[in-house]
Amino acid sequence: MDLNTVENIVKSAVSDSGLILLELSVKGEGKNSILEVYADSEKGADIDILSEVNRRINRDLDLKGLSEYFNKIIVSSPGTDRPLKFIWQLNRHCGKIITFYEENIKIEGKLLNVDNIKGSISVEIKIGKKDFINKDFLFDKIADVKIKLPF
């Protein structure tokens, strides 16, 4: 199997749909392999766009004789269990609770603002029972950023 061709097919299908490729992986071996594609955009990725990308990848792999190598192809936007990799992914989550690590210390707070130009985020952090502080963090200095579900 030519992984470069697979990667080019995926990149083209994702890019042409207006999405950004976040992750591409092949899991398993032989005919039991699973191709996983994670894509997103600043506005989000709805099921119709993801389905179209999946169909295009399937079609293009078939045209190149590569579809037989995959038992399943998954095209999805990243779920809340996956860390956000780019600051622009946070733009639509202002007002939500996020968790992340800064210097191996876990921080949780409400996302107040995203500054894409400075590469920073503003977070309201609870200290004590009733007090809050607002603190800015450089996105490239924090890790494992996730949206916390409200339940």
Domain segments of the chain as ranges: 3-76, 87-147
Low-confidence ranges of the chain (pLDDT < 50): none
The Cα 151–Cα 144 span in angstroms is 20
Residue 33: the pLDDT is 92
> How confident is the model over 30-70, as pLDDT tens digits?
778 999 999 999 888 999 999 999 999 999 999 999 988 89
What is 3-76's CATH superfamily? Cation efflux protein, cytoplasmic domain (3.30.70.1350)
The reported pLDDT for the residue numbered 80 is 75
| pLDDT score of 24 | 95
- CATH top class, domain 87-147: mainly beta
CA 144 to CA 122: how far, in whole Å? 16
pLDDT at 39: 96
